[in-house]
């Protein structure tokens, strides 16, 4: 019993020692110091640090969050130089400095495409650490959760026209059109590198298997190419104060010169023409601003807003007016350069670019036009006439579509590149003309159009699309490759 009481007394003493604070004493200098406590009263010193290390470990494994494009540096505009190859109508891409802001536009609701986009983003992060990845808001969460670094989201805090240097698309022709449509209110479109991963590949230039080569060649375009040196020499003749570009060195280019296929190689660009439209109500007032506001709200802050108060609407494929869900046919008056051309009674009317000649216009019976032919097409949609055939006009032709009063007050649907923009009432005019593409004068840079980065000058993607996708002049009942040519 005495031994048990002694043990209980010692345990009680230890319990009191933990609860009673250590006594203090004041030294000669007036500094308060704690009196040394017995060893039994000491607390485990590792309890708190262990808790902190666990918290830090959890914080370090938390996925990064997306950031706004407002944090990115301003956009870098490339130059487009004439190719040195005789007879070539392509342009040479030439960056004044390495591109830094890359917008990824992907086919929606396609998990395999999303996996490819994630693989591409990781490659860019690993090999090109100075390049920032920008994504659309609708796919930001799906992309961000698979990456160990933060991506930037195109939001309302900044205009993508002021931030994005280059666009990469992953999908079919619809994905390329959607990327170009982000700039339908803006006159300047960044270069587009398109990877064919969709149903159609007429606008898709690259196979995804070549994504490293495609990006490397585009990224290095401008580091040191003969066309750039020649252009600088010519401009120096006009402006003697111009600094030679050869003396400029950028870390991104210097890092990749040993890995590229030759620093004097540059990407070739096919500059696709666009058409633009201005809308006027029956009183002759422009209503472009109303349509542009509607498009900006539909685009979830990804539409490149224009600094113009009432910007024109631009299309890379076509501008269409259609009867929509109404059972009656649409009645539209067509004017060409101020002269009355015809009145059409049809399901609708198409004003197409050469690029769009192989899209809706082709399905409606229109001709096939090479994308570099400066022209626009007028194609009726199921007209009530056997003599109304598609017309090919010069690019600078001014075409007016006037909604006839015989439509009896009903709206017709106005669509740009297949997407409905608004309804147009009788008396409304849609004034269409080709967007200027080229140089404004000697020594000026190329501007306008949609610059598409192609594989090489030796391969003609237009001919390949005609033969491989449209089966141009494919004979009936047999395969030309298996035909016996012995006769």
- Measured at the alpha carbon of residue 367, what is the angle toward residues 362 and 373, in degrees to the nearest 5? 115
CB count in 10 Å sphere of residue 419:
14
Q: What is the pLDDT of residue 176?
A: 93
- Tens digit of each residue's pLDDT (9 = 90 or more) over 190-202: 999 999 997 777 7
Percentage of the chain exceeding pLDDT 90:
51
Confidence of residue 252 (pLDDT cuts 50, 70, 90): confident
274-297+310-434 folds as Tumour Suppressor Smad4 (2.60.200)
Among 315, 250, 238, 251, residue whose Cα is nearest residue 279: 315
Confidence of residue 63 (pLDDT cuts 50, 70, 90): low
CATH class of the domain defined by 67-225+257-271: alpha beta
Task: Provide CATH 3.40.50.10330 ranges for the chain.
Answer: 67-225+257-271
The Cα–Cα gap between 487 and 478 comes to 16
Higher pLDDT, 470 or 32: 470
- Measured at the alpha carbon of residue 411, what is the angle toward residues 406 and 416, in degrees to the nearest 5? 120
- The residues pairing with 158 across neighbouring beta strands, listed in sequence order, are none
Confidence of residue 82 (pLDDT cuts 50, 70, 90): confident
Say if residue 440's pLDDT is above 70: no
Task: Provide CATH 2.60.200.30 ranges for the chain.
Answer: 274-297+310-434
Classify residue 82 as left (phi > 0), alpha (psi -120 to 50) or beta.
beta
Q: What is the pLDDT of residue 24?
A: 43
Residue entry with tokens 């604070």 = 21
Higher pLDDT, 244 or 166: 166
The region of weakest confidence among 35-44, 92-101, 369-378 is 35-44
Q: What is the pLDDT of residue 361?
A: 96
The Cα–Cα gap between 107 and 136 comes to 11
Q: Tokens in use for 23?
A: 């006594």
Average pLDDT over residues 178-200: 90
Average pLDDT over residues 79-92: 81
* Average confidence score pLDDT of the chain: 81
- Tens digit of each residue's pLDDT (9 = 90 or more) over 129-161: 999 999 999 999 999 999 999 999 998 888 999
Average pLDDT over residues 44-59: 44
Classify residue 327 as left (phi > 0), alpha (psi -120 to 50) or beta.
alpha
- Tens digit of each residue's pLDDT (9 = 90 or more) over 328-372: 999 999 999 999 999 999 999 999 999 999 999 999 999 999 998
Cβ neighbors of 301 (< 8 A, separation 6 or more) are: 137, 154, 155, 156
CB-count burial class (<10 Å; 0-12, 13-18, 19+) for 439: middle
Classify residue 87 as left (phi > 0), alpha (psi -120 to 50) or beta.
left
CB count in 10 Å sphere of residue 337:
13
Say if residue 181's pLDDT is above 50: yes
């Amino acid at each position: 019993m005495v031994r048990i009481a002694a043990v209980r007394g010692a345990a009680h003493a230890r319990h009191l020692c933990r609860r009673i604070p250590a006594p203090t004493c004041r030294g000669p200098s007036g500094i308060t110091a704690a009196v040394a406590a017995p060893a039994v009263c000491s607390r485990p010193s590792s309890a708190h640090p262990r808790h902190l290390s666990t918290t830090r470990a959890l914080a370090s494994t938390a996925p990064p969050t997306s950031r706004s494009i407002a944090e990115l540096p301003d956009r870098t505009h490339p130059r487009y130089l004439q190719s040195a190859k005789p007879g070539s109508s392509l342009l040479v891409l030439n960056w004044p400095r390495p591109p830094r802001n890359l917008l990824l536009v992907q086919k929606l609701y396609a998990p395999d495409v999303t996996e490819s986009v994630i693989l591409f983003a990781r490659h860019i992060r690993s090999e090109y650490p100075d390049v920032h990845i920008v994504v659309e808001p609708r796919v930001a969460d799906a992309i961000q959760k698979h990456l160990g670094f933060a991506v930037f989201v195109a939001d309302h805090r900044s205009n993508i026209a002021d931030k994005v240097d280059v666009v990469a698309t992953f999908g079919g022709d619809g994905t390329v059109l959607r990327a170009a449509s982000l700039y339908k209110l803006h006159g300047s479109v960044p270069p587009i590198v398109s990877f064919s991963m969709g149903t159609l590949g007429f606008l898709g230039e690259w196979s995804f298997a070549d994504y490293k080569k495609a990006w490397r060649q585009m990224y290095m375009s401008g580091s040191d190419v003969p066309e750039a040196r020649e252009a600088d020499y010519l401009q120096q003749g006009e402006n003697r104060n111009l600094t030679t570009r050869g003396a400029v060195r950028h870390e991104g280019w210097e890092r990749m010169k040993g890995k590229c296929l030759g620093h004097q190689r540059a990407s070739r660009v096919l500059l696709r023409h666009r058409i633009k439209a201005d809308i006027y109500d029956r009183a002759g007032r422009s209503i472009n601003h109303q349509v542009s506001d509607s498009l900006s709200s539909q685009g979830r802050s990804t539409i490149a807003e224009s600094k113009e108060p009432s910007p024109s609407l631009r299309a890379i494929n076509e501008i269409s007016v259609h009867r929509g869900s109404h059972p009656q046919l649409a009645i539209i008056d067509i004017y060409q350069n101020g002269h009355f051309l015809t009145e059409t009674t049809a399901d609708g009317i198409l004003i197409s670019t050469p690029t769009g000649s192989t899209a809706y216009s082709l399905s409606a019976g229109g001709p096939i036009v090479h994308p570099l032919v400066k022209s626009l097409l007028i194609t009726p949609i199921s007209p009530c006439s056997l003599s109304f055939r598609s017309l090919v006009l010069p690019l600078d032709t001014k075409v007016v579509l006037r909604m006839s009063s015989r439509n009896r007050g009903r709206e017709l649907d106005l669509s740009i590149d297949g997407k409905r923009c608004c309804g147009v009432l009788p008396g409304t005019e849609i004034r269409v003309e080709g967007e200027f593409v080229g140089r404004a004068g000697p020594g000026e840079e190329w501007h306008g159009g949609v610059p598409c980065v192609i594989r090489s000058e030796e391969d003609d993607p237009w001919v390949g699309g005609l033969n491989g996708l449209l089966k141009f002049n494919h004979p009936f009942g047999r395969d030309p490759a298996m035909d016996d040519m012995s006769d």
